[in-house]
A and B are shown apart, each in its own frame.
Chain A
Amino acid sequence: KNEVEQSPQNLTAQEGEFITINCSYSVGISALHWLQQHPGGGIVSLFMLSSGKKKHGRLIATINIQEKHSSLHITASHPRDSAVYICAGISNFGNEKLTFGTGTRLTIIP
């Protein structure tokens, strides 16, 4: 059974702080999505990672295939970064089903 575990569940930080959210996953998962969900519910895919590291603006995502671990970092955090961040594992079978972590609710205080 594919499993994805995410931590922390909730994170509150001051504006400007460096943020790290962690995700561990089980065998049967070959890649990961990092998703962002705002209060209205809409979901945006931030990154899809199968190896290495990706960067987009202040967001950085890394994945270690051997350790089955991924991290999402936010540099110079801003209140508009407040959202729920979700790690989702992609099945390595042809159907590419997603298994979701429970999400991290991030609140950045001005």
Chain B
Amino acid sequence: SQTIHQWPATLVQPVGSPLSLECTVEGTSNPNLYWYRQAAGRGLQLLFYSVGIGQISSEVPQNLSASRPQDRQFILSSKKLLLSDSGFYLCAFGQGSYEQYFGPGTRLTVT
């Protein structure tokens, strides 16, 4: 069966520190992968999506970057976190059938 893993579940980081959030998918191959963010009191927003290894599209200018080093691995990174990077980060995958499956999310607090 298809599953999606995301870690860590919660993270508290100081301003200026680096960030690495990891997402892995099992039970499928060549999925579309997505990173979404939900800032406090706001709706979900697409940050990045990937249709294949090494292929990353960015939706909004920001302090973050994404990479897809393997078919089922999607990483969200930052070299120096800002306060405004705080939020709830969700990874998701799709298989080209319009269905999308969401990970459990990472709640990031930048202090």
A contacts, CB < 8 Å to B:
30-31, 33, 35, 41-45, 48, 50, 86, 88, 90, 94-103
* Structural contact, B98 and A45, CB atoms closer than 8 A: no
| A97 → B minimal CB distance (Å) | 6
**Stretch in B22-30, B42-50, B64-72, B74-82 touching the partner:** B42-50
* Structural contact, B44 and A95, CB atoms closer than 8 A: no
CA A31 to CA B44, docked complex, whole Å: 18
B contacts, CB < 8 Å to A:
32, 34, 36, 38, 43-46, 49, 51, 57, 59, 88, 90, 92, 94, 96, 98-102, 104-105, 107
Question: In the complex, what residues of B have CB within 8 A of residue A86's CB?
Answer: 43-44
Given A41-B105, A42-B105, A43-B90, A96 contacting B100 (CB threshold 8 A): yes
Kindly list the 8 A-B residue pairs having the minimum CB-CB distance in the complex, ordered from nearest: A100-B44, A43-B102, A31-B98, A102-B43, A41-B88, A41-B105, A100-B43, A96-B94
Question: In the complex, what residues of B have CB within 8 A of residue A43's CB?
Answer: 90, 102, 105
CA A103 to CA B49, docked complex, whole Å: 22
Question: In the complex, what residues of B have CB within 8 A of residue A30's CB?
Answer: 98
Of B34, B45, B99, B107, the contact of A41 (CB 8 Å cutoff): B107
CA A59 to CA B45, docked complex, whole Å: 25
Of A45, A50, A88, A95, the contact of B51 (CB 8 Å cutoff): A95
CA A86 to CA B36, docked complex, whole Å: 14
Q: Which of A41, A44, A99, A100 has the most CB of B within 10 A?
A: A41
* Structural contact, B100 and A42, CB atoms closer than 8 A: no
> Taking CB as reference atom, which chain A residue is nearest B104?
A42
* Structural contact, A95 and B57, CB atoms closer than 8 A: yes
> Taking CB as reference atom, which chain A residue is nearest B101?
A45
| B30 → A minimal CB distance (Å) | 13
* Structural contact, A101 and B88, CB atoms closer than 8 A: no
CA A43 to CA B107, docked complex, whole Å: 13
Question: In the complex, what residues of A have CB within 8 A of residue B107's CB?
Answer: 41
> Taking CB as reference atom, which chain A residue is nearest B94?
A96
Question: In the complex, what residues of A have CB within 8 A of residue B59's CB?
Answer: 97
| A56 → B minimal CB distance (Å) | 14
